[in-house]
């Protein structure tokens, strides 16, 4: 079996271009371009890289990015005050707080303080709840990007047996909810799952988001399975995913590469979400 590589890079470019052309039209009626506030606390190097990817995507999409780089000693009061200001600031349509935050900050309280209409990461309880209820509003970028990738490659999930490995708030749980909402039969596995392989071997599509390098190997999935690799970690200085990409060649029907698969889709969905927030605000004025 020849394994199809599900690239996200080109699709992500397409999405960003589509967002850009929609913004071009919309900004003439609104009278300004959309604005995305990007809040970065501290000096975590991967976070700095992610933020620079997002800022570059904004340029291509025609979104004004407003960087707020705060010291790692920033207090809760200071960050909540900043978010309150961004919530009311007219030219700010989206607010993104880059995760992870330094451990002294209450992440849940910070994310919950963002105006749900400006919550372009989709992590506010209100938006997460809308997703749970199958009434997707602004949805988290990574799972949304995964669904867009599947749609692009014509991979339906309805009625299919799928397994999600990893149950985080930002990927695993919202992804599982999206899959249930689309009527897949979904199993959610995680660190406490006794025998991961019996689940992954059953799945027609395996979604993996653990950050454990090469966790998903050939002997863990059935022949012809589709592997969506949402993991990202470093191994000997190289960026690798959760799946053993080489070992799955000729065995899996399709696989997303890391890098170049789901990653770029996440950034593209952030642009889509910012456009969505811009449009919602334009409508309610």
Residues that bind a second copy (CB under 8 A): 108, 123-135, 158-159, 161, 167, 169, 173-174, 176-177, 180, 183-194, 199
Q: What are the residues whose beta carbons fall under 8 Å from the beta carbon of 111, sequence distance 6 or more?
A: 97, 119, 121, 123, 124
The SS3 call for residue 164 is strand
Only one residue has tokens 């950050």, namely 211
Of the residues 54, 118, 144, 173, which is catalytic?
Answer: 54
Active site residue 236: no
Q: What value does the CA radius of gyration of the chain take, rounded to a whole number of Å?
A: 19
Among residues 57 and 111, whose Cβ is nearest to a second copy?
111
Structure-block tokens of residue 40: 């970065």
Which one, 55 or 106, has the nearer CB to a second copy?
106
Measured from the CB atom, is 65 or 117 closer to a second copy? 117
Toward a second copy, which CB reaches closer, 44 or 161? 161
Exactly one of 93, 98, 173, 276 is catalytic; which is it? Answer: 98
Measured from the CB of residue 156, what is the shortest distance to a second copy in angstroms?
11
Distance in Å, CB of 140 to a second copy, minimum: 10
Say how many CA atoms lie within 13 Å of 274 toward its Cβ: 35
CB-based contact 83:113 (threshold 8 Å): yes
Q: How far is the CB of 171 from a second copy (least distance, A)?
A: 13
d(CA 261, CA 258) in angstroms, rounded, equals 6
> Which residue of the set 93, 115, 119, 121 is catalytic?
121
217 has catalytic annotation: no
- Per the annotation, the verdict on 115 as an active-site residue is no
What is residue 238's three-state secondary structure?
strand
Active-site annotation, residues: 54, 98, 121
């Amino acid at each position: 079996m020849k394994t199809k590589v599900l690239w996200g890079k080109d699709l992500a470019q397409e999405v960003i271009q589509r967002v850009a052309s929609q913004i071009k039209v919309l900004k003439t009626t609104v009278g300004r371009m959309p604005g995305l506030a990007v809040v970065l606390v501290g000096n975590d190097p991967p976070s700095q890289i992610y933020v620079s990817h997002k800022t570059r995507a904004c340029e291509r999409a025609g979104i004004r990015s407003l960087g707020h780089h705060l010291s790692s000693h920033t207090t809760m009061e200071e960050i909540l005050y900043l978010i309150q200001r961004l919530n009311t600031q007219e030219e700010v349509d989206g607010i993104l707080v880059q995760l992870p935050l330094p451990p002294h900050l209450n992440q849940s309280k910070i994310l919950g303080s963002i105006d749900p209409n400006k919550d372009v990461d989709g992590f506010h309880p209100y938006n997460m709840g809308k997703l749970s209820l199958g009434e997707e509003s602004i949805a988290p970028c990574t799972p949304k990007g995964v669904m867009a990738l599947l749609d692009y490659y014509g991979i339906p999930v309805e009625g299919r047996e799928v397994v999600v490995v990893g149950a985080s708030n930002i990927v695993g749980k919202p992804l599982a909810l999206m899959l249930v909402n689309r009527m897949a039969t979904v199993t959610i596995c995680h660190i406490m799952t006794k025998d991961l392989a019996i689940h992954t071997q059953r799945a027609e599509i395996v979604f993996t988001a653990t950050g454990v390098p090469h966790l998903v190997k050939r002997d863990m999935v059935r022949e012809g399975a589709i592997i969506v690799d949402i993991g990202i970690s470093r191994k000997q200085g190289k960026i690798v995913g959760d799946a053993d990409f080489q070992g799955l060649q000729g065995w899996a029907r399709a696989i997303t590469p890391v890098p170049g698969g789901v990653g770029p889709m996440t950034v593209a969905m952030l642009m889509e979400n910012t456009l969505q927030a811009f449009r919602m605000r334009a409508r309610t004025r």
